[in-house]
Structures are given as structure tokens and as C-alpha cells.
Amino acid sequence: MGVLRVVFLGPPGAGKGTQAKFLEQKFGACLVGTGEILRKAVRERSPLGRKAVQYLDRGDLVPDHVMVKLVAERLRARDCQSGFILDGFPRTIAQADGLEPMLKDIGLALDSALCIQAPNEVIIQRLSGRRTCKVCGSLYHVVFDPLARAGKCDRCGGELYQREDDREEMIAARLRVYESQTAPLKEYYCRRGLLKEIDGVGNVEEVRNRVFRALGAVAT
């Protein structure tokens, strides 16, 4: 297994963040999670946060030009020679088009678009029980993950909270945004021969094994 260069696709709650963090640990590739970056910016009330907050609150997408600039800066600033994992980007065709020149810039071509799939009832169950560490962004689940019961992050001691956009009334809106704006990326990457569809139903380890298999890596 050489240098890892992947993007994660798939609906909110499918398990992208969870699997992206595994790949980060296993391959030491640089992880760029755009949702996490935006939430941190909102908490810190940075200029980016002030631009993004209205979209996050509604479950809408932050404008493409903001996102493309953000990711370009991250990829350039961080050492991605050991590879990169994009979680939550691209989310539109325009963002995918914006990614191509960035990759040329750093001299790394994409090797897979991993799309984690799950039916709506699974997604709703995962999102409505998700808890996120305020400090390090680690992911927990009130039902599937006994560690969530402590209310504190097992890795860093940070406070676990429920994201505003994971509340029941926002989930349907986010799924609509996904279907209309992000789902077309499957065809986009399929045409380029990069799409790898992964069944996201099953426990975290089962899905992780499928991801590793899709990448051609041994799952240990």
C-alpha cells in the first residue's frame, strides 16, 4: 500500500468521519474534515466561522468558493506527501472540479472516491444518537458506543455534545441537500474510474474491513 489519496462520499451519518479517522491512524495520511474545520471556526468566531455559521445552522452547504479556497489552503499548508484523506469535501460538482487543479499543484492524483452507503433509517438512527467531542472531534454514539455514556471524550477528556444540525428536525433537510447536491458526485467519480461503493450497514469494524478491502489493504 503506497500513499493514500482518497475522498469520502456518502450521506451524513453514513460513517465517513469514523472511517476517515481509522485511515488517518493506519496510514498517517493528513486528514482534512471540512465539517470539523467549519465548526471550530464557528466556535472561535473567526472570519471563516462568521461566514459559515448561517449555512451550518440551516443544514445548507457553505458556498463553493469558500470551501475550495479553504481546502486549497489546507492541502498546501500541510505536509501531504504521506497522502491525504478528505472527509466532507467535495460536496458538489463545482467543488470536485475545484479539487483537480489543487491536486495537480501538490503533485498527487486521487486514487479513490470511497462512497459509504446506508439506508435512511440507519442514517437517522446514527445521526440522532451521535455525540461529538468539542475538543478533538472524536465521534461517539449514545446507543452503539458504551464510551459515550461517560459524557467525556475517551481520547482527550473533552466534553461530548450533540451537534445542532443532528437534531431530528434538521436531519431531513440535510438528507435533501445530500440527494440534490452531493449524490451526483457518485457518477462524476464513477466516470473517472475512481468510485468505490462501500456498504455502510454493520458495525464499525465490519465497515472498516470493507474500506480496507476496497483500498487493497490488509485489515489489521
Q: Which residues bind Zn ion (CB under 5 A)?
A: 133, 135-136, 138, 153, 155-156, 158
Asked if residue 129 lies in contact with residue 122, where contact means CB atoms within 8 angstroms, the answer is: no
- Looking at 6, 7, 9, 14, which residue binds ligand ADP (CB under 6 A)? 14
Tell me which of 39, 74, 130, 131 is the catalytic residue. Answer: 130
How far does CA 142 lie from the centroid of its chain? Answer: 20
| Catalytic (active site) residue 163 | yes
Q: Of these, 5, 9, 17, 24, which contacts ligand ADP (CB under 6 A)?
A: 17
Q: State which residue, 1 or 156, has the beta carbon closest to Zn ion.
A: 156
6 in contact with ligand ADP (CB under 6 A): no
Closest approach of ligand ADP to the CB of residue 30, in Å: 16
Q: Which does 133 bind (CB under 5 to 8 A by kind): ligand ADP, Zn ion, none?
A: Zn ion
Return the C-alpha torsion angle 120, 124, 126, 129, nearest 10.
Answer: -170
Query: What are the CB-based long-range contacts (under 8 Å, 24+) for 42-46?
Result: 43/134
Region near ligand ADP per CB under 6 A, out of 58-66, 75-83, 101-109, 189-197: 58-66
Q: Edge to edge, what strands does the sheet with 112-117 contain?
A: 30-33, 83-87, 4-9, 112-117, 195-199
Total residues found in the chain within this entry: 220
Q: How far is the CA of 104 from the CAs of 66, 96, 101, 110, in angstroms?
A: 20, 13, 5, 10
Minimum Å gap between C-beta 17 and Zn ion is: 13
**Stretch of residues binding ligand ADP (CB under 6 A), selected from 51-59, 74-82, 187-195, 212-220:** 51-59
Q: Tell me, yes or no, if 174 is annotated catalytic.
A: yes
DSSP state of 1: -
Locate cell 440551516: which residue?
58
Three-point CA angle 123, 129, 134, nearest 5°: 115
Q: Nearest approach, Cβ of 2 to ligand ADP (angstroms)?
A: 25
The residues that touch ligand ADP, with contacts defined as CB under 6 A, are 10, 12-18, 34-35, 38, 55-56, 59-62, 67, 88-89, 91, 95, 126, 129-130, 139-141, 144-145, 165, 174, 202-204, 207
